[in-house]
Amino acid sequence: MPANAFFSHQTAAQLLGIPLPARRELALPLHVSVVDPARAPDARDIVGHRLTIEPAEIILWRGLPITGPARTWMDLAAVLDLADLVAAGDYLLSRRHPLTTLTALTDALAHYPGRRGLVTARRALPLLRDGAESRRESLLRVVIVEAGLPEPECNATIYDAHGLFLARGDLVYREYRSLLEYQGDYHRTDRGQWRRDIRRLGTLEDNDWLMQQFTDDDLAAPVELVNRIERRLRARGWSGQRMPRG
């Protein structure tokens, strides 16, 4: 790797730990960039890029030169769809381990007004939240909001009438006493987790909370998913009008 080169795009995202769709998680090819007008790398299993980039946008991450979080997010905007770009941004802003700020992402958009993916990035920016804790939660939230339903709280804590802890929900509609949970396979395959889930559901139902559970199959059928959520919200008192975005 030339001394003036650095990792970028999907490779930089992988090194930063940004969650990506499976087709973007492949180890190869590596994305390696140089600053324009240097010659882009050209080798087997390498995608070379020649970038217009500020020196401050290149950082040393665990001993490796890569594009920084905000610039990497901007580069991803050219290849990810809206929901996946929001999931990537949520990860970068996560209050548990923030790697950048909303201001830095906003500045990155303003700094490169003519770049590819800018339209998607502009749509994604107001949808980013620092409370999301998984890619699937972010994808579910984007489907809901883009369909025009009310936006739920991310990873909110629920208490009973006496102020005692009940649960922490992935996505919570506090006003309608309803929460949405993404269930990965470990909820099924881990016996202890399965038992805790059943006990948790019973506790919530005892306190008049409704839990809706979703899997990857539901995310693959967004129209049915949204209709199901809407029916339950209306049954719980929501009387608003759906205003789809986009």
What angle (nearest 5°) sits at the alpha carbon of residue 166, between those of residues 160 and 170?
120
Please report, to the nearest 10 degrees, the dihedral formed by the alpha carbons of residues 176, 136, 131, 99 taken in order: -170
Task: Read off the tokens for 87.
Answer: 């999931």
What pLDDT score does 158 carry? 93
Tell me the per-residue pLDDT of 48-91, one tens digit each, with 9 for 90 and over. Answer: 999 999 999 999 999 999 999 999 999 999 999 999 999 999 99
More confident residue, 89 or 201: 89
Domains of the chain by range and CATH? 6-127 (no CATH), 135-235 (3.40.960.10)
Q: What is the pTM of this model?
A: 0.91
**What is the per-residue pLDDT for 212?**
94
202-245 pLDDT, tens digit per residue, is 889 889 999 999 999 999 999 999 999 999 999 999 999 998 88
**E-assigned strand segments in 62-130:** 64-67
User: What phi, psi does 21 have (nearest 5°)?
Assistant: -65, 155
pLDDT score at 179: 95
